[in-house]
A = this chain, B = another copy of it.
């Protein structure tokens, strides 16, 4: 690997001059020398060693992102927003997948600190686990103490900048719409109960139903894995356990698709007999048949805002932005059958 010294030698100048030319420093350099340096750079295919630069002038150019899983469409969209803003700021992005393992999240925060990243964006759901939350907060604080910036998305564990989707509002929207269409015997296909995302959405739904005079009994909520198979399983259980069920609320679109698959397999007409609604408005929601009624979260925007907070000027106090959820009505939701 060619070094600055090599360039300087070849151009017949001092390393200082070479550095000044390459970085476009404010100090003026004679055209003749500048030329020679530039030619040497080209000849040697010189690229400055980013680590040495970082050591000499602590100006961080990389940001770290910790998500549950980039291959999950939810995080794929989110990540796209994060990336766009990071790129606009001229920052590279290190993406770490925690695969929903809290320990791994902790490890990654540590690793990113060692990498001296300019900022860490932690995306995903929080956990109902006080010990973990405390450890995470502690690690983030240690990182921030070194001048790093932190923003979280979709979780509120951190006493700094956060961007949140309106999960609870979304649950409410769904509940209100179901009631409006006459649904009262409603089953909920829920993801893991430890995730704050799940409980937030559920809280909203519960509140809307209770306000409408039809509180949700505990046995009408089934917790399962946050994916297609989990959705199918929970939907099956609810169908068996709740006679006269007219609607199924899945707490994300993957689970909703699983529920749809199960209903079709059992020959249950959707929405003729049972309506299905999802959450997130992932691309698949529009592609299935019947197209899924769901709650749209501005995922790209969520990511973009988080990165903007993380890379923008720091605030003296905690900032929490909540981005609104909107209802997207499609074919999978009909009136409750008589």
Of all chain B residues, the one with the shortest Cβ separation from A65 is: B95
A111 CA / B71 CA spacing, docked (Å): 24
Known contacts being A71-B77, A79-B71, A93-B94, is A52 close to B55, with CB within 8 Å?
Answer: yes
B80→A76 contact, CB < 8 A:
no
- Is A283 an interface residue, CB under 8 A from the partner? yes
Residues of B within 8 A of A92 (CB): 94, 96, 111, 115
- Is A229 an interface residue, CB under 8 A from the partner? no
A55→B51 contact, CB < 8 A:
yes
Question: Which residues of chain A from 31 to 80 have any CB-CB distance to chain B below 8 Å in the complex?
Answer: 45, 47-52, 54-55, 62, 69-73, 76-77, 79-80
A73 CA / B1 CA spacing, docked (Å): 36
A76→B83 contact, CB < 8 A:
no
Interface size in chain A (residues, C-beta < 8 A): 46
Residues of B within 8 A of A62 (CB): 94, 115
- Is A252 an interface residue, CB under 8 A from the partner? no
Selected contact of A55 from candidates B55, B73, B77, CB within 8 Å:
B55
Stretch at the interface among A172-180, A239-247, A284-292, A309-317: A284-292
Q: Copy number of this protein in the oligomer? A: 2
B49→A114 contact, CB < 8 A:
yes
Selected contact of A79 from candidates B49, B70, B83, B111, CB within 8 Å:
B70
Residues of B within 8 A of A113 (CB): 47
A96 CA / B52 CA spacing, docked (Å): 22
Contact flags A288-300 to B (C-beta < 8 A → 1, else 0): 1100000000000
- Is A110 an interface residue, CB under 8 A from the partner? yes
Residues of B within 8 A of A79 (CB): 70-71
- Is A147 an interface residue, CB under 8 A from the partner? yes
Contact flags A253-294 to B (C-beta < 8 A → 1, else 0): 000010011000000000000000000000110011100000
Task: Enumerate the 8 nearest inter-chain pairs by beta-carbon distance, A residue then B residue, closest first.
Answer: A289-B289, A71-B76, A51-B51, A1-B146, A71-B80, A50-B114, A45-B142, A95-B95
Further contacts, 18 of them, CB under 8 A, given A73-B73, A93-B96: A45-B142, A45-B145, A47-B110, A50-B116, A51-B51, A51-B54, A51-B55, A51-B115, A62-B94, A62-B115, A70-B79, A71-B73, A80-B97, A92-B115, A93-B94, A257-B287, A284-B287, A288-B288
